[in-house]
A and B are shown apart, each in its own frame.
Chain A
């Protein structure tokens, strides 16, 4: 077997199909008599960066631990590249895992930590050394190989942990809140680096986080979880602009939630006015109670009554630097708009109409 450069992990020699297709089918887990994960289905594309996003206790970490094999599913099926691994022991799966606590082996040097997985795979010492050096350079830790974990900063420790996970060319890279222990600036920098690296080497990555901004920034798709179920699984823009459930809308960013009645054709009536939005999933039947979700960034505020959209009075405007926050009192309740800083700023008391593109808002049964 020849040395495989890490950057071609997507299609290793000898296999034609790209690796790293994960499939969860009806996966369940009961812990302490409580069902913490209920029938989770998901499937990744090889090379995809998928994030399990949700508050603590939503089942995201439990799901990750079932994928890694540290917990056994109480029901359902877990497959990687068509191989059923539901009950396979963790050490017989090929998963590189990175933890919030870094989880480096404290008594080993950085190089020994990174070499661990290769030693377990009985890779010859010379080739091991070469691969370790390669991956350490990849994560920007060249020259640190003889240090012990305690002699490294948090960011460096996490890079070492990432190198240790990547060097075995895993089927899946599992990231369990890997940036949560880092300070804000470093968190953003490392997260962008990890995302760029993942794209370069093409390993399928599953990230668990409660940080919505992090999820939006790095993911190809996000699975928003709450109470053990996936509420929405879609691209970041979709999840953000067109939340499927109340939970998704409220959990990620700020949202205007407007109650109305479905009027057919992607429109609905809110407080007597016709409002357009995109139904998520099946369009609600005419006359059904629905809720419209609109992000403040997509709300446009025009002067006077423009017929369509919500008509109201400006209650308050505030300059926030990058945005201007404008709160409009309408018959459907208050609507918040985040206007670009060069927009015309309506004065308090002005009569305005709030509108948005139908594709920028979602509509869901209530």
Chain B
């Protein structure tokens, strides 16, 4: 390898390391400061204790908020996958009135600031007489997650050769089995990715939830946010650390069963030819 080539590699490595450090630093600070013995958040931590984790478990409102968040997030993930699949198939396969409009709305949904969405939903739910409940929260989150799922499914379908479906039918597969053996595997990664994204979006959301929840019904991010306005003790960083751990476990589980690389479209092309 030439000298410039080596230099480029070294510089590239340094750059990658810096970017990595920049991304991980806030997490590292949170995790470290959750271990402090002081009753206020500080970095670097002073002393090592797990006291704040015990504190978290002693606060039932955090546990119930976690249950609300996790429940809504799981539901958002499942519904996003199903609606994403149906919507993606409809847009990809059929020409119907309003199809172009629907596609535009779905692809520009990201552009709407979540705070605007929150205000809008607050009005809307009030008009409809919908009381604040996990259900309204779920509806709000679906507005964020379904467009993403649909788009992922559309991308998956774009990579599917329609001839493969014809081939399967010709080989004797009735429509449902064509769907099951040929179409579904092509969008499997998209569905898992869409569900994963929906789960994270819903679980992490603060902005929309702030408008939709009440004092009785608070998601974990809202609970943390409210808690921090009055107490800024390391309980908050302990919860933060637990959430990071939770996400890590989720990623590991998904990696174990599907491969995270696949979620984000990387394929195993490099496995070689012939």
Contact = CB atoms under 8 A, between A and B. Distances in A.
A306 B185 CA distance: 73
B177 to A, nearest CB: 7
Interface stretch (A17-25, A92-100, A191-199, A265-273): A92-100
B129 interface: no
A68 B170 CA distance: 7
B178 to A, nearest CB: 8
A101 B174 contact: no
A95 B185 contact: no
B161 interface: yes
A117 B273 CA distance: 26
Interface in B260-274: 267-269, 271-274
A95 B164 contact: no
B170 A97 contact: yes
Contact of A99 (B166, B175, B182, B273): B166
Interface in A239-284: none
B170 A96 contact: yes
Interface residues of A, number: 35
A90 interface: yes
Given A68-B170, A120-B177, A104 B164 contact: yes
B272 A164 contact: no
Looking at A103, A165, A174, the one whose CB has the most chain B CB atoms below 10 A away is A103
A152 B272 CA distance: 9
Contacts of A2: none
B171 interface: yes
Given A103-B164, A151-B271, A91 B170 contact: yes
A168 B172 CA distance: 9
Contact of B185 (A89, A107, A117): A107
A105 B185 contact: yes
A161 interface: yes
Nearest to B166: A70
Given A101-B161, A103-B164, A107-B185, A153 B170 contact: no
Interface in B81-98: none
Looking at A69, A150, A153, the one whose CB has the most chain B CB atoms below 10 A away is A150
B4 interface: no
A105 B181 contact: yes
A293 interface: no
A103 B181 contact: no
B106 interface: no
Contacts of A151: 271-274
A170 to B, nearest CB: 8
B109 interface: no
A116 interface: yes
Interface in A98-116: 99-101, 103-107, 116
Nearest to B268: A150
B229 interface: no
Given A91-B173, A116-B173, A151-B271, A97 B166 contact: yes
B155 to A, nearest CB: 15
B170 A105 contact: no
B88 to A, nearest CB: 18
A219 to B, nearest CB: 22
A34 interface: no
Contacts of B104: none
A108 to B, nearest CB: 8
A130 interface: no
Interface in B217-274: 267-269, 271-274
Given A90-B166, A97-B166, A99-B163, A164 B171 contact: yes
B170 A93 contact: yes
A121 interface: yes
Nearest to A97: B170
B169 interface: yes
A68 B166 contact: yes
Given A105-B182, A105-B185, A116-B181, A91 B163 contact: no
B168 interface: yes
Nearest to B162: A103
A91 B169 contact: yes
B113 to A, nearest CB: 39
B69 to A, nearest CB: 34
Contacts of B166: 68, 70, 90, 97, 99, 103
Interface of A: 68-70, 89-91, 93-97, 99-101, 103-107, 116-117, 120-121, 148, 150-153, 156, 161, 164-165, 168, 174, 176
Interface of B: 161, 163-164, 166-175, 177-178, 181-182, 185-186, 267-269, 271-274
Q: Which 7 A-B pairs have the closest CB atoms?
A: A117-B171, A103-B163, A120-B172, A90-B169, A99-B163, A97-B170, A107-B185
Given A90-B170, A105-B185, 6 more contacts: A95-B170, A99-B163, A106-B185, A165-B170, A168-B172, A176-B163
